[in-house]
Amino acid sequence: MFSVATVFIRKNIPLLFFSLVLMALFSVYWSTVVSITRTWWRSETFAHGIIIIPIVLFLIWQKREELVRVPIQFNFWGLIGLLGALFGWFLASLADALSPQQFSLVAMIVSIVLTIFGSKVSRTLFFPLAYLFFAVPFGEFLIPPMMDFTAAFTVAAVKMVGVPVYLEGRYLYLPTGNWHVAEACSGVRYLIASLALGSLYAYLSYQSFYRRFIFIALSALIPVLANGIRAFGIVMIGHLSDMKLATGIDHIIYGWIFFGVVISIMFWVGSFWYEPKVQNTSKQTKLSRRYVGAVSSKVALASVSSGIVLLLFIPVWLLNALESELPQAARISLPQQSHQWQLLLEKDQHWQPVFHDADAQVQQIYRKNNRDVSIYIALYLQQQQGKEMINVTNRVYQDGSYWKRLNDSFFTLSISDKDYPIHQVILKSRTDEKRVIWYWYSIDGYLTTDPILAKLYEVWVLLQGKQKASAVIAIATNYQADQNQAIAVLKQFLTETHDDLSNSIVQPTP
């Protein structure tokens, strides 16, 4: 019978081929690798990603004795998965969608493991390979809804204890002081950290699927509720101390201490259902006699590995072939007058949307019958990471600086047999000035308010061989008391000027 050491040496051959393919993968998709690691370092929310790789390696090391008894036979289904991951990365790159690119990269690694080592090894390493997806920085889209939940939960809890509180958007007003539910208070970092830790705990502590599933589900539910309780506790500490406590750095410290206590209690309660792993030595002996040393031939491994490396270059080659040349100029030309709406020379000093590195942008004011409508257009023709229309750092208002958000909603406005999807945002300024903003995205004539659909439209335009011209169009007007009157003004403006707005975006011919 072969010793474990002997079998390990023989199985180093596929491991060598895997290492070479992995090096090629990281070389070809180095920019995606860098985007993941850079996010780990600069974002506290995703700092846990730094330890995911060591955890995965440790989990694989725990399986070392079991792995030497498992046959290694390459699996062509892994190539199907690899092709799907490569295609996903290609589409995500066309749309400049970073998270899908990163998920596709991890999916490539998993598919390569299945291809080179086979299905039996992949099943043995199922959890470590699945856990690798936690390395991808993902979850920022949850920040706004979790901020809203935290604000609503806190207000409901404060009212339950008899303290008067008024909620305006994400701002809480108490007799002793005011509070703002910021992005750091959303609880997303607690949720992601809890899911990563809870999944690992469930895998190491339980054997049955149901216990693992229940514990992981609780790992997602408990931090959301706990964050609401944390926010309520901080508000009450500030209120009872006359705003002397929990208003500075201690605010963050209390939050992490509370989170640590909650996670510790969750793990302690979960330990009562601990399931030790049962070793089946007879089955291991049978497997070792039948499969020990079973490895794909060197020629087959070399051929499959070479084929994988060649496949890795296809998406990059296609991407370079489809990318159009950088346009020399982009222009937005607003008419001086449109249906008696007169273009003014001054700009709106209080409203400053932020869309980084647009190829062209314009911000002006139109006036008719003493009513002003501000308009903002940002145009993108050649997009890449850091220079894209759909980005978490781009927004039509700067929350917390001069304006604060009260609420937002979505609806569709039909004008001349054309539907305009509208994202409506209600703002309030430091000086109690109120404003209604309507905005939407336009991609080669496609209109949407959904960032994901906007990305998909950009991919569709590129696949048709067209210039990927994308624009965000926003109009806004102020009001004092009657919000409906401001909405009527915006509706009138868009109804009368929609043709001129569409024609104002002048795209250069490639």
First to last CA, the chain: 69
Q: CA 334 to CA 377: how far, in whole Å?
A: 10
- pLDDT band per the 50, 70, 90 thresholds, residue 290: very low
pLDDT at position 297 is 67
pLDDT at position 349 is 76
**More confident: 433 or 278:** 433
| Residue whose structure tokens are 């609780």 | 218
Q: CA 207 to CA 204: how far, in whole Å?
A: 8
Domain that holds residue 238: 141-273
Which residues, at least 6 apart from 180, have a Cβ–Cβ distance to it below 8 Å?
170, 171, 172, 400, 404
The per-residue DSSP string of 296-330 comes to --HHHHHHHHHHHHHHHHHHHHHHHHHPPPPPS--
- pLDDT band per the 50, 70, 90 thresholds, residue 357: confident
C-alpha pair distances (Å), 169 with each of 147, 350, 395, 411, 438: 10, 20, 17, 19, 17
Interval 33-45 mean pLDDT: 89
- Same domain? For 243 and 383 the reply is no
Pairing of strands 331-332, 505-506: antiparallel
Look up the CATH number of the domain holding residue 502: 3.40.1000
**More confident: 61 or 333:** 61
Helix (H) or strand (E) holding 289: helix 281-291
pLDDT at position 330 is 61
- Same domain? For 354 and 459 the reply is yes
Query: How does pLDDT run across 180-211, given as a tens digit for each residue?
Result: 888 778 888 889 989 999 999 999 999 998 99
- Same domain? For 213 and 249 the reply is yes
Q: Please, what's the largest Cα pairwise distance for the chain?
A: 94
| Residue whose structure tokens are 């490639």 | 510
- Same domain? For 15 and 106 the reply is yes
Whether pLDDT at 143 is above 80: yes
- Same domain? For 310 and 247 the reply is no
Q: What is the CB neighbour count within 10 angstroms for residue 473?
A: 24
CA proximity to 111, closest of 87, 139, 137, 138: 87
**How long is the chain?**
510
- pLDDT band per the 50, 70, 90 thresholds, residue 128: very high
pLDDT at position 107 is 96
pLDDT at position 320 is 79
Q: What is the mean pLDDT of the chain?
A: 84
Contact between 185 and 144 under an 8 Å Cβ cutoff? The reply is: no
DSSP 8-state code for residue 271? G
- Same domain? For 262 and 314 the reply is no
- pLDDT band per the 50, 70, 90 thresholds, residue 248: low
- Same domain? For 108 and 40 the reply is yes
| Residue whose structure tokens are 């990318």 | 323
- Same domain? For 88 and 133 the reply is yes
- Same domain? For 472 and 424 the reply is yes
| Residue whose structure tokens are 């002793």 | 176
Helix (H) or strand (E) holding 100: helix 98-117
Q: CA 360 to CA 122: how far, in whole Å?
A: 50
Q: CA 237 to CA 234: how far, in whole Å?
A: 5
Interval 237-249 mean pLDDT: 75
- pLDDT band per the 50, 70, 90 thresholds, residue 136: very high
Interval 332-351 mean pLDDT: 83
Q: CA 366 to CA 492: how far, in whole Å?
A: 12
Query: How does pLDDT run across 305-320, given as a tens digit for each residue?
Result: 888 889 999 998 888 7
Query: How does pLDDT run across 440-456, given as a tens digit for each residue?
Result: 999 888 899 999 898 88
Tell me how many domains the chain contains: 3
- Same domain? For 368 and 426 the reply is yes
Whether pLDDT at 329 is above 70: no
- Same domain? For 383 and 416 the reply is yes
- Same domain? For 442 and 313 the reply is no
CA proximity to 366, closest of 499, 482, 490: 490
Whether pLDDT at 260 is above 70: yes
Query: How does pLDDT run across 365-404, given as a tens digit for each residue?
Result: 999 988 999 999 998 887 777 678 888 788 888 766 678 8
- pLDDT band per the 50, 70, 90 thresholds, residue 218: very high
Whether pLDDT at 76 is above 50: yes
CA proximity to 59, closest of 7, 127, 107: 127
Whether pLDDT at 57 is above 60: yes
pLDDT at position 202 is 94
pLDDT at position 472 is 93
